[in-house]
Amino acid sequence: MNDTVIPNSAPSMEPVIDSVAAAPDTALDAALDAAHQALLAEVAALPALPGVYRYFDADGGVLYVGKARNLKKRVSSYFQKNHGGTRIGVMIGRIVRMETTVVRSEAEALILENNLIKTLSPRFNILFRDDKSYPYLKLSAVQPTKLGEEPGRGADARQFPRVAYYRGAVDKKSHYFGPYPSAWAVKDSILLLQKVFRLRTCEDTVFNNRTRPCLLFQIKRCSGPCVGEVSAEQYAQDTANAERFLRGQTQEILTELESRMLAHAERLEFEQAADVRNQIRAISRVLHQQSMEVDTDKDADILAVKVHGGRACVNLAMVRGGRHLGDRACFPSHVDSAVDMAALDNAELAQEAQEAQVGLETEDQTVKPKQVRSRQVEVMVLEAFMAQHYIGVAPPPLVLLSHQVDKALIQALSEQAGARIQAVHNPREQRRIWLDMAQKNADLQLARLLAEEGSQQARTRALAQALDLPQTELDQLRIECFDISHMGGESTQASCVVFHSHRMQGAEYKRYNIEGITGGDDYAAMRQVLTRRYSALAESLREGQTDVKLRMPDLVLIDGGKGQVSMAREVFEALGLDLGLIVGVEKGEGRKVGLEELVFADGRDKVYLGHDSAALMLIAQIRDEAHRFAITGMRAKRDKVRVSSKLEDIAGVGPKKRASLLRRFGGIRGVSSASAADLATVEGISKDLADDIYRALH
């Protein structure tokens, strides 16, 4: 699409914006009027072509991204009347700059719009943020031996495909099945493949160094290709059947297996016939247990949406290879703002709302205007999810929908995927059962979210009241909490966890390796982490910078009493920061939960909130999360240091041999889990030295 995108070449408004910022109070109205007139002139110069537009505020933040069949007509509609104090009016009042991109069709505009929404996260668009990619089941492909390469000592892992759980970008070197709604669904499918087709799951380094069958072979979950228990031809047949099983071609597999079983029986090969019979039984048992299995739909997505209480939920259920694999609930942000914006941004929606004033006749009832409005909001949320979700995930050939969406969206997704997508919003029989289940789950998940958010918001409000914090914008209340963790002074780490928008923000957590202090000196560790965390921020505040990425928190929690708080006070005094932000969480009598007291750095008296206080519950939640995050990082660092140092301390293991071991087994963990016989297969490692390494690591 890049060769068809034509950026708008209207004159920039930056000089006007600068004049507004620099204007004195007496000339402010005139400068703002000049900025508004320049924006209107830019709107008047827009072409009557399909495209995408973007609105920016004075700080360069993206307010809204929209698409239009006619850019001139659509964008002009925003500025043709006064919208007052509505959300639309608030947004229009913030617009100081606009960018447009002309494309060839509305379908291209739709794809570009949602690419930009996912990239820029505008304030007034419906946003589906997903911090995790969807998991896949990966089946490695057979790799040919390179020319001139010498064969290994045993079986070559590259000739025996491995089945594994995978999350990340896919490539063409392996076969990927999915995406799956959860890690559990992938692991359950892998377990089925182990039971039925006995494919290997071990790493290549483990495979290439096996000298005897593993436990999975003993319990009939692997056919033992690493030690020659199965031929390459038979394993290739099992791999091909596993691929067909994942694609839903189960009846074809059963027919072939029955023919093989009869052939073995005719040749009096009863053991082989029994093995094939057991495979048939395993597949039949799987199909019997999977009550959702059907023959018609191999791959499908089921999407149901529910909007209530200013929040929305889209429930995505997945069918792959004819098997229902479960579902995942997705919750968008900015629903209220996007609804108001879409009412103006979508001429068709406005026309439908006008026609609904007299009610619409359906098959069984008259739909009132309020019901039509609610249905339209759910359609907008569903369309936003589909457009954003299927940017990075290829859609299946069938999508079942709780509401009918714009045909242009389905066309755009089909063009993007390079295959026809069938969208059904009023299914029957088995498809109806799937959709009803997805709708029920959407209702339940949204009810759970509203209950949790109500409880969490109440806790945030209680904490703000207890500590006299501003209560006007509780969604923006930001808390950072610090904790120190070590094991007898070894591998000291500090953690910083972040709470805002009424929940923990895992993407903003950070660990700090503490160095250059006496082991076990928690005060010095706290001094170091606070200095590293807030030095740059304090410098930016002194220079008058207002970067939102360097925003000072409203509360800094310290896991500790007077000593830790005193250390934090010294750091804040040196940096010139507000001491009133520091609060220590001091353990109560007997270190019992619920008896904690709050210690303040600015000299206020201690505060005991009460064991049943909602504010104390929130503080304990944040403090415990900081402790968990610190101790898990410390343990990982300690284990890595200990194993690595043990390897270095073994006599006869120099840098070259150590590098060979790490390279062969893929790292410290692989070396420590290898047997003495496996270690002896590494070049330069004798049997005696392998025994010494094994004893040292165990």
| CATH number, position 482 | 3.30.420.340
By percentage, how much of the chain surpasses pLDDT 70? 78
Give per-residue pLDDT as tens, 624-673. Answer: 999 888 888 766 665 555 555 567 667 778 878 877 787 777 666 677 77
First to last CA, the chain: 58
pLDDT band at 285 (very low <50, low <70, confident <90, very high): low
By percentage, how much of the chain surpasses pLDDT 90? 12
Q: Are residues 559 and 677 both part of a single domain? A: no
Q: Are residues 385 and 488 both part of a single domain? A: no
Q: Are residues 333 and 284 both part of a single domain? A: no
Q: Are residues 483 and 598 both part of a single domain? A: yes
Q: Which two tokens stand for residue 316?
A: 């995505």
Is 522 a domain residue? Answer: yes
Helix (H, G, I), strand (E, B) or coil at 18: helix
Is 461 a domain residue? Answer: no
Residue 530, burial from CB neighbour count under 10 angstroms (0-12, 13-18, 19+): buried
- Domains identified in the chain, total number: 5
Is 130 a domain residue? Answer: no
- Give yes or no for a contact between 43 and 68, defined as CB atoms under 8 angstroms apart: no
Q: How much is the pLDDT for 526?
A: 92
- Give yes or no for a contact between 682 and 664, defined as CB atoms under 8 angstroms apart: yes
Q: Are residues 350 and 497 both part of a single domain? A: no
Q: Are residues 324 and 405 both part of a single domain? A: yes
Give per-residue pLDDT as tens, 105-114. Answer: 877 888 888 8
Look at 326 and 201; give whichever has higher pLDDT. Answer: 201
Q: How much is the pLDDT for 338?
A: 67
pLDDT band at 154 (very low <50, low <70, confident <90, very high): low
Q: Are residues 174 and 260 both part of a single domain? A: yes
pLDDT band at 9 (very low <50, low <70, confident <90, very high): very low
Question: Torsion angle of alpha carbons 367, 373, 377, 378, nearest 10°?
Answer: -10
Model confidence at 477: pLDDT above 80: yes
Report the C-alpha gap between 645 and 643 in whole angstroms. Answer: 6
Name the residue among 604, 601, 519, 605 with its Cα closest to residue 564: 601
DSSP run (H or E) holding 607: none
Report the C-alpha gap between 393 and 417 in whole angstroms. Answer: 9
Last residue of a domain, one of 235, 256, 289: 289
- Mind spelling out the 3-state secondary structure of 107-166? HHHHHHHHHHHHHHCCCCCCECCCCCCCEEEEEECCCCCCCCCCCCCCCCHHHCCEEEEE
pTM: 0.59
**CATH value at residue 384:** 3.30.420
Q: Of 30-39, 241-250, 417-426, which gets the smallest average pLDDT?
A: 30-39
Q: Are residues 432 and 518 both part of a single domain? A: no
Model confidence at 445: pLDDT above 80: yes
Last residue of a domain, one of 289, 313, 343: 289
Last residue of a domain, one of 263, 289, 315: 289
Is 458 a domain residue? Answer: no
Q: Are residues 408 and 483 both part of a single domain? A: no
Is 642 a domain residue? Answer: no
CA distances from residue 347 to 47, 398, 634 in whole angstroms, order as listed:
18, 29, 57
Name the residue among 449, 448, 450, 398 with its Cα closest to residue 427: 398
Q: Of 207-221, 260-274, 381-395, which gets the smallest average pLDDT?
A: 260-274
Is 460 a domain residue? Answer: no
Return the ∠ at Cα 201 (arms to 250 and 226), rounded to 5°.
Answer: 110
Report the C-alpha gap between 6 and 562 in whole angstroms. Answer: 62
Q: Are residues 315 and 443 both part of a single domain? A: yes
Is 105 a domain residue? Answer: yes
Q: Are residues 623 and 496 both part of a single domain? A: yes
Q: Are residues 377 and 423 both part of a single domain? A: yes
Model confidence at 617: pLDDT above 60: yes
Give per-residue pLDDT as tens, 550-588. Answer: 678 999 999 888 899 999 999 999 999 999 999 999 887
Is 150 a domain residue? Answer: no
What is the domain extent for residue 567? 476-637
Residue range 214-242: average pLDDT?
Answer: 87
